[in-house]
């Protein structure tokens, strides 16, 4: 399949997640079959005037492709300038615009999911970005700011306008903005819009295991899925989904494979961000890597206290090997 001019080997994407989709998780997802990954979201301002943290985020390795960068902002001119700058960088294959994030500090500044209340502004932003870059351009939304008829109409108008502007694809999350991450994702809106839009539609929300991915893909309408939390601490979800789709048995993850994955993850984080940040992030991931193992609760408590590589080695040896 393809998104604009970008050819992908399949329809499984590692979704962007703030605090999680550093290079480590992106590469692990690719190793397990994901066709593309997307960075943590970055503000248009930071693209144009990058801090040290952002410079690290946009220092992309040659093997970290295909790679999308997710940007956000509420200023049309700045967003267009950011799109042009991203193309000039030459290190990204696609630009994804975040009009979905429900976090309060984003909403308060008119960013992310707040855009669903101002579709005209959202379309002005997308139009400027479309003129500014030849890179594939996509947009991430939710099924409405809220569950009201007006909320639905606003996101419908945004998506229809984006389609007319030549946006190359949309990802639709099955919750409303005001739901945050509570309740279940409702995919009916994504499926309906997929039948009405020319651009391809990806779905997201509650893709926590391989069967849930297959159910959504086989349900019709959407062309692919963007997997988020389901891949955190379990990048094998992509491999498992492909095996299920091919009618093959799903091989369980062995302790040795889990340990190897954890060390790979740590080492890639260390190379990208330094040891201090790598250890802090691995503490966060520990609760996810422990899912399904014996003494999972104890392992999570131990991972939460890890302060060095030696500590990490002790915890992995004690609980994961």
Q: Are residues 287 and 194 in the same domain?
A: no
Close Cβ partners of 230 (under 8 Å, ≥ 6 residues apart): 207, 208, 209, 212, 213, 237
Looking at the fold, whether 182 and 219 belong to one and the same domain comes out as: yes
Whole-number average pLDDT of the chain: 96
Is 287 found in the same domain as 140? Answer: no
> Catalytic amino acids?
101
**Joined tokens for residue 217:** 């893909």
Q: Looking at the structure, do residues 216 and 314 belong to the same domain, yes or no?
A: no
Please write the tens of the pLDDT for every residue from 103-114.
999 999 999 999
| Residues 273 and 212 grouped into a single domain | no
Whether 219 is covered by a domain: the verdict is yes
Is 69 found in the same domain as 192? yes
Last residue of a domain, one of 245, 269, 289: 245
Candidates 319, 284, 229; CA nearest to 29 is: 229
The answer to whether residue 127 is domain-embedded is yes
Query: What is the rounded distance in angstroms from the CA atom of residue 226 to the CA atom of residue 296?
Result: 27
Q: Is residue 282, in this structure, part of any structural domain at all?
A: yes
Q: How many domains does the chain have?
A: 2
Q: Tell me what pLDDT residue 59 has.
A: 86
CATH number at residue 212: 3.20.20.70
Residue 57, pLDDT score: 85
Note whether 225 and 267 are same-domain residues: no
Kindly tell me if the per-residue pLDDT of 287 is higher than 90: no
| Rounded distance between C-alpha atoms, residue 38 and residue 47, angstroms | 15
Same domain, 218 and 272: no
Domain that holds residue 13: 2-245
| 88 and 208 in a common domain | yes
**Is residue 250 domain-resident?**
no
Share of the chain above pLDDT 90, in %: 93
Termini Cα distance of the chain: 39
User: What's the pLDDT tens digit per position in 75-94?
Assistant: 999 999 999 999 999 999 99
pLDDT of residue 238: 98
Domain boundary among 245, 275, 306: 245
What is the predicted pLDDT for the residue at 255? 94
Q: How confident is the model at residue 58 (pLDDT cuts 50, 70, 90)?
A: confident
Q: Residue with structure tokens 């539609």?
A: 201
Please say whether the beta carbons of 193 and 223 come within 8 A.
no
20 in any annotated domain: yes
Do 311 and 193 share a structural domain?
no
User: Which of 190, 219, 245 is where one domain is finished?
Assistant: 245
In a domain, 83, yes or no: yes
In a domain, 273, yes or no: yes
One domain for residues 194 and 260 = no
Question: Three-state SS across the chain?
Answer: CEECCEECCCCEEECCCCCCCCHHHHHHHHHCCCCEEECCCEEHHHHHCCCHHHHHHCCCCCCCCCEEEEEECCCHHHHHHHHHHHHHHCCCCEEEEEECCCCHHHHHCCCHHHHHHCHHHHHHHHHHHHHHCCCCEEEEEECCCCCCHHHHHHHHHHHHHHHHHCCCEEEEECCCHHHCCCCCCCCHHHHHHHHHCCCCEEEECCCCCHHHHHHHHHCCCCCEEEECHHHCCCCCHHHHHHHHHCCCCCCCCCHHHHHHHHHHHHHHHHHHHCHHHHHHHHHHHHHHHCCCCCCHHHHHHHHCCCCCHHHHHHHHHHHHC
Q: Are residues 192 and 267 in the same domain?
A: no
Q: Give the domain CATH number at 315.
A: 1.10.1200.80
232-284 tens-digit pLDDT: 999 999 999 999 999 999 988 999 999 999 999 999 999 999 999 999 999 99
Instruction: Please report whether residue 35 resides in a domain.
Output: yes
């Amino acid at each position: 399949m393809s998104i604009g001019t970008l050819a992908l080997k399949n329809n499984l994407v590692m979704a962007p997640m703030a605090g999680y989709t550093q290079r480590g998780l992106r590469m692990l997802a690719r190793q397990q079959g994901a066709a593309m990954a997307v960075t943590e979201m970055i503000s248009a301002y930071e693209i144009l005037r990058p801090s040290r943290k952002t410079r690290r985020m946009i220092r992309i390795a040659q093997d970290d492709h295909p790679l999308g960068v997710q940007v956000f902002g509420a200023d049309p001119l700045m967003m267009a300038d950011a799109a042009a700058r991203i193309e000039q960088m030459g290190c990204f294959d696609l630009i994804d615009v975040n009009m979905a994030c429900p976090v309060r500090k984003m909403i308060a500044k008119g960013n992310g999911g707040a855009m669903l209340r101002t579709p005209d502004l959202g379309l002005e932003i997308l139009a400027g970005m479309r003129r500014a870059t030849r890179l594939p351009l996509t947009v991430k939304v939710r099924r409405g700011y809220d569950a009201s008829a007006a909320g639905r109409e606003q996101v419908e108008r945004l998506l229809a306008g984006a389609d007319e502007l030549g946006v190359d694809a949309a990802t639709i999350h099955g919750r409303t903005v005001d739901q945050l991450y509570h309740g279940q994702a409702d995919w009916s809106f994504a499926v309906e819009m997929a039948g009405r839009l020319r651009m391809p539609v990806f779905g997201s929300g509650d893709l926590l295991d391989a069967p849930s991915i297959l159910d959504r893909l086989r349900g019709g309408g959407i062309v692919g899925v963007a997997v988020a939390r389901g891949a955190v601490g379990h990048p094998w979800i992509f491999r498992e989904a492909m095996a299920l789709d091919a009618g093959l048995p799903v091989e369980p993850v062995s302790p040795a494979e889990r340990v190897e994955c954890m060390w790979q993850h740590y080492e890639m984080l260390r190379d990208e961000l330094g040891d201090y940040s790598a250890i802090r992030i691995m503490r966060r991931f520990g609760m996810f890597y422990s899912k399904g193992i014996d003494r999972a609760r104890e392992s999570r408590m131990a991972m939460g206290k890890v302060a060095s590589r030696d500590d990490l080695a002790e915890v992995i040896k004690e609980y994961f090997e």
